C-alpha cells in the first residue's frame, strides 16, 4: 500500500506517529519507531517502508483525526480563556479607577470608568459584575444627597441585573439600599414593603446587613406611630449587633430604643436603656463621638421632659461641644433645637431665639427642612409669648410656606422614584413581549416544517398520513382549547389583581395626601388661629380657643385614619376570591348574598376546565337570580367529597315554570356533561330554586 501526498504532509504524519505512540494493536511499536527514525529525512520512502506494518490505513486516519481534534479544542479553549481573562482584567482596572475617583469626588472620571466597566461586564455576559458598577455609582450619588433620585435609579438598575443573575443576597441588599432612600422621602409604606421583600429573600440567612434592615423597620414603625412593632425590630437589630461585637452599633441601638420610648412618653423604659448605654466605659464611648453625643443629648432631653433640670444645660452643652469638634453639623442642629427649647421653657426668649435661629440657618443650608420647621415653630412661639404678634404671624407664614415646599419636594422625589419603578416595569413587559413574539415565530416555523413533512409523507402513504394528520389536528385542537381555558383563567385572575392593586395604590395616594397635604394645612390653620387668638382681645380669644381645640382634635383623628390606612396590604388574588367578587359584583342590594367554599379544596389540583366551567355557571346562575327570581336571599356553596366537587346555587325566589328549557340551563348542562358531571335542578313555585352541579375531579 503506497500513500502519496506532499513531502511536508508526509513529514507531519511521521512525527505524529512517532509522538502519539498509539500504534495499531497488530503493529510492534518499537520496530515502527526504528524504521521511522531511519527514514526521517525521506518521509515518502519511510511511509512506503512501513506500509507492511500499517495495512489498516483507516486506523491511522482515525488516530490522526483524534490528535488534531484534541489539538484544535485545546487551542480554542486556551484562546477563549485568554480572551476572558483579558476582559476581566480590563473590567477590574476600570473598577479600580472608579474607586479612586469616588474617593476624590471626580464625577466625570468616575462616570467614564463606569461606562467602560459596564462595557466589559456586558462582554463577559456577567450581570452581577454590571450590577456592582451601578451600586457603586448609586452610593456616590447617595453620599451627596440622601434623597437622590439618581442614587435610586442606579440602585434600581442594579436590582434588575442582580435579579437576572439570580443573586438573592445582592438583590436583598439592594432592596435595603432602596428602602433607605424611600424612607428618606417619607414614603414609609413603600420602604416597609422593600424591607420585607428583602427579608423574604434572605429567609434563614444572616448577612452582615440584616441588623440594618431591622433597625430601619424600627425607624419606619416609629414614624407610623406603632410603638410595639418599632421596639420589636429595634431589639432584633440590637441582638444581632451584640452578637457581632460592634460596640458603636450597639450603642446606637440602645439610643434608638431609649429615644423611641422617650418620644412615646414611656420615661421609665427610656431611662432603663440609656443606663445600659452608659454602662460602656467612658474610654470606649469616646471612641465614637457622634454616638456618644447622641446619647448625652437624648438623655438630657429625657431629664428635661421629666423636669429634672439640674444637669440638663451642662449635658446639652457637652453634647454640642462634642458634635462641633467632629463637625457633625446635623447633630449640632439637634443640640441647638434642644437648647432653644430649654431656654424657652425658662422664659429666656433671647437665648432661645439665638439657638433656634442657628438651627434654622444650618438645617436650611443642609436641606434638612423638617428641622427648619421645628426651629420656625420655636421662633413663632417665642414671639407669641413675648407679645410680638406681628413677628409671630410672620414666623407662622414662613412655617406654612416651608411646609408646603417640603411636601412638594418630597412628592417630586417620590414621583421620580415611582417613574423609575414604572419605566423598569414597562421595559420588562416589552422584553417579555419580544420573547413571546420570538417564541411564536419559532413555533410558527416549526409548524411550517411539520406541515411540509406531512405533505411529503402524504405523497407516498396518503391514507396512513391522512389518518395521522386528522389525529394530530384533534390533539392540537384539544391542546389549544386547554391553553385557551388556562389563558382565560389567568386573564380573569390578573384582571382581579389589577383591580386590587389599583384600590391599594389609590388608598396609598389618599393616605399620603391626607398626611402630607391636608394634615399640614390643618397644622398651619391651627397656628394661624392660635396666633390671632393671642393677639386678640380676651372676648375674641375665648371664642377662638374652642376652634383651635377642634382643629387639633380633627388633626389627631386624621393621623389615626392615615395610620390605619397605611397598615393595610394588597390582597393576594386567588380563585375563591375571584368567584366571590364575580357573584358579589352582579347581585343587587335587594338580594342578601351568602358564599361558602370548602377550605380543604386544593385549587391548584383542580383543572382549569372545571374552574372555568364553575366560573361561567356561577355567572349565569347569579344573572338568573338577579333578573328573574325576585329573590331576597341567595347562597353559593362549593364543597368536595370523595373525589367529586359540588357547586350549589340556591335562592328563595319565585321559582321556574319551565325550568329545563331556558335561562342558560342548557349551557350549564352542556359544560357539566363535557366534564363527566351531572346537573340536578329543584324548583318550587314561590319557594325558590336550587341548582346542584357534580363533577368528578379524578
What is the predicted pLDDT for the residue at 107?
Answer: 83
pLDDT confidence bin for 479, thresholds 50/70/90: low
**Residue 196: inside a domain, yes or no?**
no
pTM of the model: 0.51
User: Same domain for 504 and 596?
Assistant: no
What is the predicted pLDDT for the residue at 233?
Answer: 94
Highest mean pLDDT among 21-25, 439-443, 688-692: 688-692
User: Same domain for 565 and 579?
Assistant: no
Find the mean pLDDT for residues 658-687. 82
Tens digits of residue pLDDT in 503-524? 655 665 666 565 555 656 666 6
**Residue 253: inside a domain, yes or no?**
no
Find the mean pLDDT for residues 62-83. 57
User: Same domain for 533 and 558?
Assistant: yes
Q: Is the dihedral of CA 363, 369, 374, 380 positive or negative?
A: positive
User: Has residue 4 got a pLDDT over 60?
Assistant: no
User: Same domain for 601 and 642?
Assistant: yes
User: Has residue 25 got a pLDDT over 50?
Assistant: no
Find the mean pLDDT for residues 287-315. 93
User: Has residue 31 got a pLDDT over 60?
Assistant: no
**Residue 443: inside a domain, yes or no?**
yes
User: Has residue 498 got a pLDDT over 60?
Assistant: no
What is the predicted pLDDT for the residue at 661?
Answer: 60
Find the mean pLDDT for residues 132-153. 87
What is the predicted pLDDT for the residue at 466?
Answer: 52
Residue after which a domain boundary falls, among 569, 592, 611: 569
User: Same domain for 493 and 537?
Assistant: yes
Total domains in the chain come to: 2
pLDDT confidence bin for 570, thresholds 50/70/90: very low
User: Same domain for 507 and 554?
Assistant: yes
pLDDT confidence bin for 101, thresholds 50/70/90: confident
Average pLDDT, rounded, for the chain: 78
Phi, psi for 216 (deg, rounded to 5): -70, -35
What is the predicted pLDDT for the residue at 481?
Answer: 58
User: Same domain for 506 and 442?
Assistant: yes
User: Same domain for 549 and 492?
Assistant: yes
> Is the separation of the CB atoms in 228 and 236 below 8 Å?
no
**Residue 362: inside a domain, yes or no?**
no
Dist CA 330 CA 335 (whole Å): 9
pLDDT confidence bin for 477, thresholds 50/70/90: low
What is the predicted pLDDT for the residue at 545?
Answer: 73
pLDDT confidence bin for 6, thresholds 50/70/90: very low
pLDDT confidence bin for 50, thresholds 50/70/90: very low
Q: Which three cell numbers stand for residue 604?
A: 391548584
User: Has residue 308 got a pLDDT over 50?
Assistant: yes
Dihedral, CA of residue 320, residue 323, residue 327 and residue 329, to nearest 10: -70
Residue 605 maps to which CATH number?
3.30.565.10
User: Has residue 131 got a pLDDT over 80?
Assistant: yes
Tens digits of residue pLDDT in 405-456? 877 776 777 677 777 766 665 555 555 555 566 666 666 666 666 666 576 6
What is the predicted pLDDT for the residue at 15?
Answer: 52
Phi, psi for 589 (deg, rounded to 5): -65, -25
Residue after which a domain boundary falls, among 569, 602, 620: 569
**Residue 93: inside a domain, yes or no?**
no
Which residue range forms the structural domain that includes residue 605? 575-696
User: Same domain for 530 and 545?
Assistant: yes
What is the predicted pLDDT for the residue at 24?
Answer: 45
Say how far residue 304 (Cα) sits from the centre of its chain: 42
> Reduced to 3 DSSP states, what percent helix, strand and coil does the chain have, rounded to the nearest 5?
75, 5, 20
Q: Which of 191-200, 224-233, 546-555 has the lowest mean pLDDT?
A: 546-555
What is the predicted pLDDT for the residue at 460?
Answer: 54
**Residue 654: inside a domain, yes or no?**
yes
User: Same domain for 514 and 554?
Assistant: yes
User: Has residue 2 got a pLDDT over 60?
Assistant: no
User: Same domain for 614 and 690?
Assistant: yes
Per the model's pLDDT, the better-predicted residue between 41 and 98 turns out to be 98
User: Same domain for 527 and 606?
Assistant: no
User: Has residue 665 got a pLDDT over 90?
Assistant: no
What is the predicted pLDDT for the residue at 554?
Answer: 75
pLDDT confidence bin for 161, thresholds 50/70/90: very high
**Residue 478: inside a domain, yes or no?**
yes
Q: Where are the beta strands (DSSP E) in 546-677?
A: 592-597, 633-641, 644-651
pLDDT confidence bin for 604, thresholds 50/70/90: confident
Long-range contacts of 354-358 (CB under 8 A, 24+ apart): 356/382
Residue after which a domain boundary falls, among 569, 603, 632: 569
Per the model's pLDDT, the better-predicted residue between 441 and 386 turns out to be 386
Long-range contacts of 508-511 (CB under 8 A, 24+ apart): 508/189, 508/565, 508/566, 510/565, 511/189, 511/562, 511/565, 511/566
pLDDT confidence bin for 265, thresholds 50/70/90: very high
Q: Which of 83-92, 168-177, 423-432, 675-684 has the lowest mean pLDDT?
A: 423-432
Find the mean pLDDT for residues 77-82. 50
What is the predicted pLDDT for the residue at 687?
Answer: 87
pLDDT confidence bin for 493, thresholds 50/70/90: low
Strand order in the sheet with 644-651: 592-597, 633-641, 644-651, 688-696, 678-684
Say how far residue 381 (Cα) sits from the centre of its chain: 44
**Residue 474: inside a domain, yes or no?**
yes
Amino acid at each position: 500500500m503506497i500513500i502519496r501526498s506532499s513531502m511536508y504532509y508526509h513529514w507531519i504524519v511521521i512525527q505524529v506517529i512517532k509522538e502519539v505512540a498509539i500504534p495499531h494493536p497488530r503493529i510492534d511499536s518499537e520496530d515502527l519507531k526504528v524504521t521511522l527514525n531511519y527514514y526521517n529525512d525521506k518521509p515518502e520512502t519511510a511511509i512506503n517502508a512501513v506500509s507492511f506494518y500499517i495495512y489498516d490505513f483507516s486506523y491511522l486516519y482515525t488516530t490522526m483525526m483524534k490528535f488534531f481534534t484534541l489539538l484544535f479544542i485545546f487551542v480554542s479553549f486556551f484562546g477563549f480563556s485568554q480572551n476572558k481573562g483579558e476582559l476581566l482584567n480590563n473590567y477590574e482596572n476600570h473598577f479600580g479607577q472608579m474607586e479612586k475617583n469616588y474617593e476624590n469626588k471626580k464625577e466625570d472620571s468616575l462616570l467614564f470608568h463606569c461606562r467602560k466597566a459596564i462595557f466589559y461586564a456586558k462582554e463577559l455576559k456577567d450581570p452581577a459584575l454590571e450590577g456592582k458598577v451601578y451600586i457603586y455609582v448609586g452610593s456616590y450619588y447617595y453620599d451627596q444627597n440622601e434623597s437622590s433620585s439618581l442614587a435610586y435609579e442606579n440602585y434600581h438598575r442594579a436590582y434588575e441585573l442582580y435579579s437576572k443573575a439570580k443573586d438573592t443576597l445582592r438583590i436583598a441588599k439592594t432592596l435595603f439600599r432602596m428602602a433607605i432612600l424611600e424612607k428618606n422621602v417619607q414614603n414609609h409604606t413603600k420602604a416597609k414593603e422593600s424591607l420585607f421583600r428583602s427579608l423574604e429573600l434572605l429567609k434563614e440567612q444572616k448577612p452582615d446587613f440584616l441588623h440594618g434592615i431591622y433597625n430601619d423597620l424600627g425607624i419606619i414603625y416609629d414614624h407610623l406611630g406603632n410603638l410595639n412593632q418599632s421596639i420589636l425590630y429595634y431589639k432584633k437589630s440590637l441582638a444581632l449587633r451584640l452578637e457581632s461585637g460592634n460596640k458603636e452599633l450597639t450603642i446606637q441601638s440602645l439610643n434608638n430604643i431609649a429615644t423611641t420610648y422617650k418620644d412615646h412618653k414611656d420615661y421609665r423604659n427610656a431611662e432603663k436603656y440609656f443606663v445600659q448605654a452608659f454602662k460602656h466605659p467612658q474610654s470606649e464611648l469616646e471612641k465614637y463621638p457622634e454616638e456618644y453625643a447622641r446619647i448625652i443629648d437624648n438623655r438630657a432631653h429625657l431629664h428635661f421632659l421629666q423636669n429634672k433640670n439640674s444637669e440638663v444645660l451642662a449635658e446639652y452643652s457637652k453634647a454640642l461641644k462634642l458634635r462641633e469638634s467632629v463637625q457633625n453639623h446635623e447633630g449640632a442642629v439637634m443640640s441647638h433645637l434642644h437648647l432653644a427649647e430649654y431656654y424657652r421653657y425658662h422664659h429666656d426668649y433671647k437665648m432661645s431665639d439665638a439657638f433656634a435661629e442657628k438651627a434654622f440657618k444650618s438645617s436650611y443650608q443642609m436641606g434638612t427642612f423638617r428641622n427648619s420647621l421645628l426651629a420656625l415653630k420655636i421662633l413663632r412661639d417665642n414671639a407669641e409669648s413675648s407679645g410680638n404678634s406681628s413677628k409671630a404671624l410672620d414666623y407662622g407664614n414662613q412655617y406654612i410656606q416651608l411646609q408646603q415646599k417640603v411636601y412638594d419636594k418630597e412628592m417630586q422625589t417620590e414621583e421620580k422614584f415611582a417613574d423609575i419603578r414604572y419605566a423598569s416595569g414597562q421595559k420588562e413587559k416589552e422584553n417579555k413581549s419580544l420573547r413571546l413574539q420570538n417564541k411564536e415565530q419559532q413555533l410558527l416555523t416549526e409548524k411550517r416544517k411539520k406541515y411540509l413533512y406531512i405533505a411529503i409523507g402524504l405523497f407516498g402513504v396518503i391514507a396512513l398520513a391522512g389518518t395521522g394528520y386528522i389525529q394530530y389536528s384533534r390533539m392540537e385542537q384539544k391542546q389549544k382549547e386547554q391553553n385557551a381555558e388556562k389563558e382565560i383563567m389567568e386573564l380573569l385572575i390578573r384582571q382581579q389583581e389589577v383591580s386590587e392593586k389599583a384600590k391599594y395604590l389609590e388608598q396609598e395616594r389618599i393616605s399620603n395626601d391626607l398626611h402630607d397635604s391636608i394634615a399640614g394645612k390643618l397644622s398651619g390653620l391651627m397656628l394661624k388661629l392660635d396666633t390671632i387668638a393671642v393677639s386678640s382681645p380676651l372676648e375674641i380669644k375665648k371664642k377662638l380657643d374652642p376652634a383651635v381645640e377642634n382643629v387639633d382634635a380633627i388633626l389627631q383623628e386624621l393621623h389615626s385614619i392615615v395610620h390605619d390606612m397605611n397598615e393595610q396590604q394588597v390582597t393576594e388574588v386567588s380563585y375563591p376570591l375571584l368567584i366571590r367578587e364575580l357573584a358579589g359584583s352582579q347581585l343587587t342590594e335587594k338580594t342578601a348574598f351568602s358564599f361558602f367554599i370548602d377550605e380543604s379544596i386544593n385549587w391548584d389540583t383542580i383543572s382549569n376546565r372545571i374552574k372555568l366551567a364553575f366560573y361561567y355557571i356561577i355567572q349565569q346562575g347569579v344573572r338568573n337570580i338577579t333578573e328573574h327570581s325576585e329573590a331576597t336571599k341567595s347562597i353559593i356553596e362549593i364543597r368536595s367529597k370523595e373525589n367529586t366537587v359540588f357547586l350549589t346555587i340556591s335562592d328563595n325566589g319565585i321559582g321556574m315554570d319551565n325550568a329545563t328549557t331556558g335561562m342558560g340551563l342548557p349551557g350549564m348542562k352542556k359544560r357539566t356533561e363535557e366534564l363527566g358531571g351531572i346537573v340536578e335542578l329543584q324548583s318550587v313555585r314561590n319557594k325558590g330554586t336550587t341548582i346542584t352541579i357534580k363533577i368528578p375531579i379524578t
